[in-house]
Amino acid sequence: MLGLVQRIFSKGRPVHPALKENWRFFQSFDQTGPIDAYEFTVFDTELTGLDAGRDEIVSIGAVKIRALKIVPGENFHTYIRPRNIVPSKAATLVHRITMDTLVNAPYIEEVLPDFLRFCHGTFLVGHYIGLDMKFLNKALREHLGGKIKNPCIDTMKLAQVYREEQWGNYYDQFNYQISYNLEDLSQEYGLPAFEPHNALEDAYQTAYLFLYLVKKLRSGGLTTMKDLYMAGRSWRWIF
Amino acid sequence: MEYDRSNPHAVPPQVIVDFLKKIHPFNSLSDDALNELAKEITIDFFPRGTLIFKQDETEVEHLYLIQKGGVKLYLKDDEGVVTLKDYRGEGSYIGALPIIQNSRANLNVETVEDTFCFLLKKEKFLELLEQYPKFVQFFLKSFSQKLIRTAYQELRRHKMTPKSESSLYLFSVQVKDLIHREPQTIAHTESIQSAAQKMAEMHIGSLLVKDSGGEIVGIVTDKDLRTKVVARGLGYQEPVSKIMSSPVKKVSSMTLAFDALLTMMQTQVHHLAVEQGGRIIGVVTAHDIMVLQGSSPLYIFREIVSRQTIEDLYPISQKVPTIIRNLLEEGARSNNITRVITILNDLILEKLLTLLQDKMGQPPVRYCWLLMGSEGRKEQTFRTDQDNALIYEDTDDDNLRKEAEDYFSAFGKEAIEHLVKCGFPRCPGDIMASNPRWCKPYTTWKRYFEDWVMRPEPDEIRNATIFFDFRPGFGELLLGRNLRDHLAKIASKHTIFQYHLAKDCLEIRPPLTFFRNFIVEKDGEHKNRLDLKTRGIVPFVDFARLMSLRHGIKETNTLMRLQALEEGNHISRELYLEAKEAYEFLMQLRLIHQMRLIEEGKEPDNYINPGDLTDLEKKTLKEAFSVIGRLQALIKDLYPVAR
């Protein structure tokens, strides 16, 4: 199985030791214990755009959750120097990142092993995490020879489940007026507010949202990871 | 936040550092210490209704700092009877006492909102207590204080940094600024009796004594008259030189009031001659300095009365904040304070208009100065805008009418100018006696009110509400009273007009949920602040006004209106008491907020930051706001289609 994955995705590139360690760890990872026994890495990326073929990650921010408490002292934040950035794109880029910051930042291949070590052995949590994973795995394949195997949890999906639970009827899930935007959800739930569009701040915001949802879902009745899966049965696992 | 290869986790958790910087006693730590501390903290979430501590059971392992949300603290005795002890909200702590006493939780702590807490390990907290005396002080102090606090005490303690403004005066004012008149002198050969007569005539307490060459050689004071003449039975025809104190103690005109006071204390004299360029320009007395320092309203009262020109009145209102501060420190309620301010302002107005009348000559017909808005309701706080008008007698004589128009037009304009200089800003809506529209004979005023009441236009009514709070301020008060009688009579009969006011009453939504969605201003200069006046105070004022007009009550003061409504059985005793308490608390909060701004050298305003309030204040404020809902419900009942 391992070999197959390698052959398909690595394009012959040697697999980085940190990634090998990642694969080894998750090969025998028990996902059924109590939620507060696991570690979570809540992360967010800033991108140059949404086109996975062309656009790139310019910043990663992440923070740990352990024993269902946010551990702000363990965080990860870096800017990343993009390769195909065109100046006009740079101007419109995003938000508060200046060209200067990016030019002085390391390339993604320098950052990835550190990030792998940071999130080693943890669940990955993100808001609309599919998008972040798409970019992350693309970079991983290109530079480290494969994808990572951490199981992922999407807070947006959790928020949808929570909303359905609160309203108790399924018609509302077809109400497209509702915003599942991170900022809007945080405001609606009365969470402390963070600066949007900064990877680390968004990671914090997502961490608060995650903690909120995990403890509010099923009126606080979720105790094991299995409960959490069941709550969001229709999740699409990244693997 | 640069990337550091060797340590990618180096970013200090800014969210925590920022939070700690805002709260006592953490804000006393250095940036480095805070950054280190922040790394130790974890963040936990407790949905509403979570029991964080169970009394006598929970081993407290962390100090909890509430980042967002709120908790209640309560005791449960053996019979299961629950006693609520306190509410704590954002920025407060739980768990400090059990950690310090090394005991289990002494209370039950339950979240009343979804609550996020910063958790600091017990050991780390004890370390801080050991390292920083400020921490010990803070936590020990807060324990003893929590036992005694009430909302009012809390207002006083938290919102007013002890500071004596009077001492600042003493250190900045020079004695030359304290002199009100030319020095009064008497020849040394004149009799004691003529000295006493002169002093009595001029209402002064001392005379300087000149020798034949015109040199000042001594001073006689009313104390000399008592102790040296009356007490010793000295003849009234004796020369003043026999009883004068000589030589006169002199100080330079540039001497600070504080130094002058010290000189007096050292030399045991109450009068100092003030010298400028070798000439005596006046006498300064202990009383003059006490007025400056002392903040008793009585002093100001006497001071206003003794002023002899309009210009002398200008600086007086600046002293009002000092007086108010002392009253607040002594525990006065907002109601006492607004009354003092009203009396002082009325007195300034009376003195000013009397002096102006002396200057311009007697008015051709009788008039009455009307006070509107908060002045009319006797609810002024600091530097309230002027809202006034002038009403004068009708006359059939065309010449006299023209004369009156000219006189009062000039009179109104000048009075307003002087009032501005006395520290009462112009009314932005130009509702002032200087505006020809609001300086009219009685019949015109009567028609104004009839128009508003009998043919109400919604927009006009909204702008006219302050007129309905008018009261006569000075002059022929009967003119104002007659107008009030007339208004009371017509207003109670015209329900359409009342409906318009009712609609206004219901327009302001009270902020209801508290720990979270406090209704604050969404943008602009006062973003995220609560407009205490519009959202808190105005609804009570509007309610009392409408109900009084409905029932023909002539009172203008909101508390008096409420009382009259209760006495007339128009509102229940319960609602009256609730409204009274709530309104007084809001006024108190506003006064103290404004007091603080004034002391910071800022313009007083009505915008408070809910985050600055203590939990008990928040709780009380929440109660106060809930009363607004009940008042509005009553109005909805009485005027069912108003909205």
Q: Mind listing the pLDDT tens digit for each residue in B582-631?
A: 898 888 888 888 888 877 878 888 888 877 777 667 777 777 888 888 89
pTM: 0.47
Question: Nearest C-alpha of chain B: how many angstroms from A202?
Answer: 12
Q: Which residues of A touch B113 (CB under 8 A)?
A: 190
Residues of chain B with pLDDT > 90: what percent?
33
* CATH assignment at residue B553: 1.20.120
**Residues from chain B contacting residue A104 (CB–CB below 8 Å):** 2
Q: What is the mean pLDDT of chain B?
A: 82
A238 domain-assigned? no
Q: Answer yes or no: do B313 and B458 share one domain.
A: yes
- Residues B288, B309, single domain; the answer is no
Burial class (CB in 10 A: 0-12, 13-18, 19+), B129: middle
Residue A5 in contact with partner chain B when CB distance is under 8 A: no
Residue A134 lies in a domain: yes
Q: Which residue has the tokens 């965080």?
A: A75
Strand partners, B103: none
- Cα separation, A143 vs A108, in Å, equals 8
Considering the domain architecture, whether residues B288 and B303 belong to the same structural domain is answered as: no
Which position has the higher pLDDT, A138 or B623?
Answer: A138
Q: Which residue has the higher pLDDT, B456 or A207?
A: A207
* Lowest mean pLDDT across A9-13, B348-352, B406-410, B517-521: B517-521
Helix, strand, coil content of chain A in percent (nearest 5)? 50, 15, 35
User: Do B388 and B370 form a contact (C-beta atoms < 8 A)?
Assistant: yes
Residue A236 within a domain: no
In chain B, residues with a C-beta closer than 8 Å to the C-beta of A116 are none
Sorting pLDDT into bands at 50, 70 and 90, what band is A148?
very high
For residue A105, the chain B residues in CB contact (below 8 A) are: 3
Tell me what the mean pLDDT of segment B305-322 comes to.
Answer: 80
Same domain, B505 and B597: yes
Residue B476 lies in domain: 296-487
**Per-residue pLDDT tens digits for A41-57:** 999 998 888 887 888 89
Is residue B9 in a domain?
A: no
Residue B476 sits in a domain of what CATH number? 3.30.460.10
Residue A185 has pLDDT above 50, yes or no: yes
Beta bridge partners of B209: B186, B218
Q: Do B9 and A75 touch (CB under 8 A)?
A: yes
**Is A104 inside a domain boundary?**
yes
pLDDT at A52: 78
Res. A156: pLDDT tops 80:
yes
With bands split at pLDDT 50, 70 and 90, how would you rate the model's confidence at B523?
very low
pLDDT at B202 over 70: yes
Q: Mutate which of A40, A58, A75, A117 to test chain B, going by most B C-beta atoms within 10 A?
A: A75
Dist. CA A208–CA A191, nearest whole Å:
7
Which residues on B lie below 8 Å from A68 (Cβ)? 44
Alpha carbon of B605: minimum distance to chain A alpha carbons (Å) = 27
Examine the domain organization and report whether B284 and B304 are in the same domain.
Answer: no
Q: How many A×B Cβ pairs under 8 Å?
A: 83
| Residue in B with minimal Cα distance to A60 | B3
B121 at A interface, C-beta within 8 A = no
Q: CB contact, 8 Å: B517 with chain A?
A: yes
Count structural domains, chain A: 1
Check which CATH number belongs to the domain holding A78 and give it: 3.30.420.10
Q: What pLDDT is stored for residue B174 in this prediction?
A: 78
Same domain, B121 and B214: no
Answer yes or no: is pLDDT of B228 > 90.
no
Among B25-29, B206-210, B592-596, top mean pLDDT goes to: B206-210
Cβ distance of B9 and A74 shorter than 8 Å: yes
pLDDT band with cut points at 50, 70 and 90 for residue A169: very low
- Domain assignment present for residue B390? The answer is yes
> Over the stretch B345-394, which tens digit does the pLDDT of each residue have?
888 898 899 999 999 999 999 999 999 998 999 888 876 788 999 999 99
The residue written with tokens 């949590």 in the block is A125
Residue B163 is assigned to a structural domain of this protein: no
B335 lies in a domain?
Answer: yes
Q: A210 — contact with chain B (CB < 8 Å)?
A: no
pLDDT at B14 over 60: yes
* Residue to test with chain B: of A46, A78, A101, A119, most B Cβ within 10 A: A78
- Whether residue B520 is found in the same domain as residue B437: no
Give the DSSP H or E segment for B559.
helix B558-567
- B634 CB contacts (<8 Å, ≥6 apart)? B543, B571, B575
Q: B44, A204: Cβ pair inside 8 Å?
A: no
Q: Output the DSSP codes for B360-418.
A: H---SS-EEEEE-HHHHTT---SSPPP-EEEEE---S-HHHHHHHHHHHHHHHHHHHHH
From A214's Cα to the closest Cα of chain B, the distance in A is 10
Tell which B residues from 132 to 191 touch A, by Cβ distance under 8 Å: none
Residue A39 to residues A123, A141, B513, Cα–Cα distance (Å): 6, 25, 35
- With respect to residue B550, please indicate whether it lies within any of the assigned structural domains: yes
Same domain, yes or no: B256 and B338: no
Residue A166 lies in a domain: yes
CATH code, B221: 3.10.580.10
Q: Is B77 on the interface with A (CB under 8 A)?
A: no
Please compute the mean of the pLDDT values over residues A77-90 and round it to a whole number.
Answer: 74
Angle at A130 between CA A127 and CA A134, to 5 degrees: 130
Q: Does B523 fall in a domain?
A: yes
B212 in the same domain as B181? yes
The pLDDT of residue B164 is: 41
Give A61→chain B minimum CA distance, Å: 10
* pLDDT (tens digit per residue) in B126-156: 888 888 877 776 776 554 334 333 334 444 4
Q: Helices B297-306 and B320-329, interaxial angle, to 10°?
A: 160
| Best mean pLDDT range from A155-164, B159-168, B524-533, B615-624 | A155-164
* Residues B578 and B440 both lie in one domain: no
Q: Tell whether the model's pLDDT for residue B22 goes beyond 90.
A: no
The verdict on A196 touching B (C-beta cutoff 8 Å) is: no
Instruction: Count the residues in chain B.
Output: 643
Q: Are residues B275 and B412 in the same domain?
A: no
pLDDT at position B520: 47
d(CA B530, CA B594): 14
**Do residue B234 and residue B340 come from a single domain?**
no
Tell whether A106 is covered by a domain. yes
Structurally, chain B folds into a number of domains equal to 4
Domain region containing A61: 2-231
Query: Which of these ranges, B81-90, B296-305, B359-368, B504-513, has the smallest mean pLDDT?
Result: B296-305
Query: Does residue A216 belong to any structural domain of this protein?
Result: yes
In a domain, B538, yes or no: yes
In a domain, B8, yes or no: no
Position A6 pLDDT exceeds 60 = no
A180 lies within 8 A of chain B by CB: no
- Flag if A76 and B8 touch (Cβ within 8 Å): yes
